[in-house]
Amino acid sequence: MVIIVKNIIAAVWLDTFSAWVDKIDGWVWGLPLVAAIFFVGILLTLALRFRHIANLFHAFESIFKGEKSHKGEISAFGALCTALSATVGTGNIVGVATAVGTGGPGALFWMEVSAFFGMATKYAEGLLAVKYREVLPDGRVLGGPFYYIEKGLGPKWKPLGVVFALFGVCVGLFGIGTISQVHGITSAVQGFSKAVGFGSDICFDVFGVSYSLPVILSGLVVTICTALVIIGGLKRISFVSSVVVPVMAIIYVGVCLVVLIANITKIPEAIAVIVRAAFDPQAVMGGAIGSMFIAVQRGVARGIFSNEAGLGSAPIAAAAAKTNEPARQGLVCMTGTFIDTIVICSMTGLVIVITGAWSPELKLEGVNITAEAFRRAFAFAGSWSGIASSFMLMSSLSLFAFTTILGWNYYSEKCLEYLVGSNRRRIVNVFRILYVLMIFIGPYFTLSAVWGISDIANGLMAFPNLVALVLLLPVTIKVSKDYFNSQAKAASDAEA
C-alpha cells in the first residue's frame, strides 16, 4: 500500500512539474523573444550588407589557416569543433523531429530562415568575442558575451553580463548541456535494445516510473565518460571534439544523402509541403488559428537550440582561438550555423518529411519520429530495417550528444569563472561534480520537461546577449568594414 501511494505521489509530482515547465516555456518563447531573434538577425544581416554571406567560401578557408604564433589557447579549427561539439547534438536529430511533430513540416522552413539570419548573429558574436577577450599571463583566455558586455558597453553594464553568466550556468547544468543530451542518448539506446530484443524487458523503478536496464546502464556509461574527459579541461575537450565531430558529421550526412538520393523524386514534393505548411495554418498540425505561429515558434526555438545563434555560447569558444583578426574568427564562427542547421538539420528534416514519419496518425514524438523515418528509409533491408535504423540512430545520436555535453561543460564553466573569479578552482571542481550528477539523473525526466527546461534556459540566456549585439552594432560594422576592405585590397593587389 505504501509503495502504491508513493508511486502515485511521484507520478503526480512529475505531471505537475511538467505542466509548470510547459507554462513557463510558453511565456519565455512567446512573441517577444521570437521577434527579437528575427529582428537582431535581420538587422545584422542588413547592416553587414550580406558581406558575411559573400565571404562564406573565405570563411571555410579560414578554418584551416594556421595562426600558431598569435595569442589564444586553441586553433581556429579547434575552436570551431569545440563550438560544433556543443551545437551539433540532439537538436539535429531529436530537436528537428520535435519541431516537426509539434509544429508541422512548416517548422522546418522557419528553422532555415532563422538559421540564415542567424549566420550574421553568430558572425557578430565571434567577432566581438575576440575583440574584447582577455588573455591572462599564463596564456589562458577569458572571453564571451559577459566580457564584450562589460568591456564593450562599459562597467555600468556589468550586471547584464552577470545575468548572462547566471543563465549560462543554468543552461549548461539544467538544459542543453546535460539533461536533454543524456535523455536523447538513453532513448536511442532503448530503441536499439528493443530492436535487437536485448535487455529492454528488464526494468527498475525510479521515482515511481519504470526504466529499462539499457536506459540505466547507458546513462551510467555517459556519466563516467564525461567525468574522464572534463577533468582535462579545454584542451582535452578540444582534442576529442576535433576528432569526433568531423567524423560523426560526415557519416551522418552521408547516410542522409544516401536516403535522399534514393528518394530524389520525392524531394520537390517534400519541399512544397514544407513551404506550404509554413504559411497555411490549415496545413500545420492542429489547424487552429494560431497554428502558423506555432510553426514559427517551434522552428525558431528548435533552430536556436540546435545552432545556438543569438544564444551567446559559441563566442566563449571563439574567444580562445589563436587569431588576431576578430572578423576572421567571426566568419569561422558563422560556419557553425551553416553546418549545423542549413546542412545537418535540413538533412534530418527532409528525411522525416519524405518518409512521412511526422504524421500525427503515428502518434510518435521526439527521437521515435526520426527512428521511424530511418526505419522506413531502410525498408529494403527487410526484417533488418528496424535494427539497422536503430543502430545508426543510436551511434549518431550518442556521439552528437556526448560531444555536446563536453562543449557545454566548457561553456558553463567559463560562465561560472566570470561570476566567481578565474582562480576559484575549488568552486569549479564542485560544479563539475554537479554537472556529472545532472547527467546521471537526466534520463529520468519526462520528454516534455526535458525540452521545456532547455527552451526556458535558452530564452533567458538569449535576452542579455541580443541586447549587447544591438548596442555594439557600430563596433561590429567598423571592424567588419576594415577587414573586408583589406581583404578586397589584398585580392586586388594579388591580381595586379
Nearest alpha carbon to residue 325 among 177, 95, 126, 158:
126
- Side-chain half-sphere CA neighbours of 204 within 13 A: 8
What's the first-to-final CA gap in the chain, in angstroms?
Answer: 88
Task: List the pLDDT tens digit at each of the 496 positions of the chain.
Answer: 444 444 544 444 456 766 777 778 777 767 778 788 888 999 999 999 999 999 988 888 887 775 655 565 667 677 777 777 667 766 777 778 888 887 788 888 988 988 999 999 999 999 999 999 988 777 778 889 999 999 999 999 999 999 999 888 988 887 777 887 888 788 778 877 877 776 656 666 655 556 677 788 888 899 998 888 887 776 777 777 777 878 888 888 888 898 899 889 999 999 998 888 888 756 545 554 446 777 777 787 777 767 778 888 889 888 888 888 899 999 988 998 898 888 888 999 999 999 888 887 777 877 788 888 888 887 776 667 667 777 877 888 888 888 888 888 888 988 998 998 877 778 888 999 999 998 988 787 766 666 677 678 777 888 899 999 999 999 999 999 999 988 888 777 776 6
Strand partners of residue 434: none
**What secondary structure does DSSP assign to 226-285, as a single string?**
HHHHHTTHHHHHHHHHHHHHHHHHHHHHHHHHHHHHHTGGGHHHHHHHHHHHHH-GGGST
Closest CA to 87 of 353, 371, 321, 317: 317
Confidence at residue 471, expressed as pLDDT on a 0 to 100 scale = 96
Cell 536506459 locates to: 215
Task: Determine the pLDDT at residue 4.
Answer: 46
H or E, element range at 204: strand 203-206
Question: Domains in the chain, please, with CATH?
Answer: 2-487 (1.20.1740)
Distance of alpha carbon 38 from alpha carbon 51, whole angstroms: 19
What pLDDT does 107 receive?
86
DSSP code, position 419: H
**Please, what sign has the CA dihedral across residues 89, 304, 258, 277?**
positive
Q: Which long-range contacts (CB under 8 A, 24 or more apart) does 151-157 make?
A: 152/128, 152/468, 152/471, 152/472, 152/475, 153/468, 153/471, 153/472, 157/468
3-state secondary structure of 44: helix
Question: In terms of Cα–Cα distance, which of 312, 325, 320 is closest to 235?
Answer: 320
pLDDT number for residue 205: 63
Can you give the pLDDT at residue 2? 41
Distance CA(301)–CA(95), nearest Å, equals 9
Give the pLDDT score at 282: 63
Cell of 154: 562599459
Residue 382: left (phi > 0), alpha (psi -120 to 50), or beta? left
Q: Taking the CA atoms of 433, 435, 439 and 441 in sequence, report the sign of the dihedral they define.
A: positive
